[in-house]
Amino acid sequence: MQTPTLPARLGAEALGTFWLVFGGCGSAIFAAKYLTDDKTQLGIGFVGVALAFGLTVLTMAYAVGHVSGGHFNPAVTIGLATAKRFDWKDVPAYVVTQVVAGLVAGAALLAIASGKDGFTATGHMAANGYGASSPGGYGLGAALLAELILTAVFLYVILGATDRRAPAGFAPIAIGLALTLIHLISIPITNTSVNPARSTGVAFVNAAGAPGQLWLFWLAPILGAMIAGATYAAITGEKTAPAAA
């Protein structure tokens, strides 16, 4: 089978990352809390938002994962390169594409949300944060540790599910469910990033201090991903040739 060209792979990454940010953050912005006129809560809550993020990855991994590898996340790209599952020379192009797609998704969400009278974007665009910007009031240290650990575990799942020894065809399910579980754990802590493109995509339209806290949501996920990428083979005894990303 012919390897897809770099432009084709970047197109797939753009589509997948756009859907992740649009679908995941969109569920938080529009559907997490929804009150009827009689104050009945019909929103999907934390569980629904967690499931939405997992479903975006699952659906796009099946849709375009065979083209680009289905990263949709700079931390995943860097973690896979660290694990020697992906070529470092393509990392910059993937990361730039993912970030641009996330920003486009953030702009689309803002345009839709602004269609409701009285909507204020500041502080209401599903941005990640710590301290006063954390949904549960968690501080910088807690946020950094949570994002680092959860991204590392996410990469371990990705590396394991795509290992040549793993059952074929089921990787998107495991990866999507892992992202769902990650959100169930950490929405109250940081609103869950584990993905610098997701954080960047809505930080600037959200404002309220989110751009100034972006450094953590780049640093922690990338460190966690690199730890997983550097240790997966030693932990699991992987000795076969790495799978194509």
- What is the domain range of residue 75? 6-236
Residue 66 lies in a domain: yes
Whether 10 shows a pLDDT value over 60: the answer reads yes
Residue 241 lies in a domain: no
pLDDT given at position 20: 98
Residue 76 lies in a domain: yes
Residue 133 lies in a domain: yes
Residue 243 lies in a domain: no
Residue 215 lies in a domain: yes
pLDDT given at position 2: 82
pLDDT tens for each residue of 110-120:
999 999 999 99
Count: domains in the chain = 1
Helix 214-236 crosses helix 196-206 at what angle (to 10 degrees)?
170
Whether 7 shows a pLDDT value over 60: the answer reads yes
Whether 68 shows a pLDDT value over 70: the answer reads yes
The model's confidence at residue 211, banded by pLDDT at 50, 70 and 90, is: very high
The fraction of the chain above a pLDDT of 90, given in percent, is: 92
- The whole-model pTM stands at 0.95
Residue 245 lies in a domain: no
Residue 1 lies in a domain: no
- Domain containing 24 — which CATH number? 1.20.1080.10
Whether 242 shows a pLDDT value over 90: the answer reads no
